[in-house]
């Protein structure tokens, strides 16, 4: 595998990011969205995220093959030292180590801005199927996250019910 470059995302990356995400919306229950957002919508999402949090992309041979960003965990001031993380890797580049590199870089940037707690909201199947496996939860476990809660049959996609789990990783000292 060639060199992977992790860098800050910008609105000029929206088309490539939207293309990666489109696959997950249309063919998986990893995202609970039913319709893939437009490039313009992704530009808005990137702009809004960058007001407070990092948004990173991974490039391989000059092409964006993954992205990760952080966002508000819960909209109350008491949660300001916590962030929710999100990651998507081009479906044909999964299990290549790109996810680990992106998440490690994002975690480091979050530490630098004072974030202490990381959270991930992950679709989780009761029984794995062609739309959703337990790979996302397993990835987060490998990255040091722990299961902290499970919501049963809370998301419906492809005429099936899916669970959602919350995972947590503490990355700072709580004084």
Domain assignment present for residue 84? The answer is yes
Region 145-174: mean pLDDT is 96
pLDDT single digits (tens) 39-84: 999 999 999 999 999 999 999 988 999 999 999 998 899 999 999 9
pLDDT single digits (tens) 56-66: 999 998 899 99
Contact 42, 17 (CB under 8 A): yes
Q: Please give the pLDDT value at position 94.
A: 80
Q: How far apart are CA 15 and CA 27, in angstroms?
A: 19
pLDDT single digits (tens) 112-134: 999 999 999 999 999 999 999 99
Domain assignment present for residue 175? The answer is no
The CATH number covering residue 128 comes to: 3.40.630.30
Count of domains forming the chain: 1
**By residue range, what is the domain housing residue 15?**
4-170
Residue with token string 């499970």:
150
Q: Please give the pLDDT value at position 1.
A: 55
**Mean residue pLDDT across the chain:** 95
What is the side-by-side strand order in the sheet with 117-124? 4-8, 55-60, 63-72, 82-89, 117-124, 160-170, 146-157
Domain assignment present for residue 69? The answer is yes
């Amino acid at each position: 595998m060639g060199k992977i470059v992790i860098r800050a995302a910008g609105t000029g990356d929206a088309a490539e990011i939207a293309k990666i995400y489109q696959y997950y919306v249309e063919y998986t229950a990893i995202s609970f969205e039913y319709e893939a957002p437009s490039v313009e919508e992704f530009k808005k999402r990137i702009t809004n995220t960058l007001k407070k949090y990092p948004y990173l992309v991974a490039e391989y041979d000059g092409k964006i093959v993954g992205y990760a960003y952080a966002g508000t965990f819960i909209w109350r001031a008491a949660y300001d030292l916590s962030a929710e993380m999100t990651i998507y890797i081009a479906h044909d580049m999964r299990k290549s180590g790109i996810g680990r590199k992106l998440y490690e870089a994002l975690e480091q940037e979050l530490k630098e801005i004072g974030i202490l707690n990381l959270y991930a909201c992950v679709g989780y199947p009761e029984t794995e199927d062609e739309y959703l496996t337990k790979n996302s939860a397993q990835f987060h476990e490998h990255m040091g996250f722990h299961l902290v809660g499970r919501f049963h049959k809370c998301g419906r996609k492809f005429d099936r019910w899916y669970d959602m789990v919350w995972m947590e990783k503490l990355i700072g000292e709580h004084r």
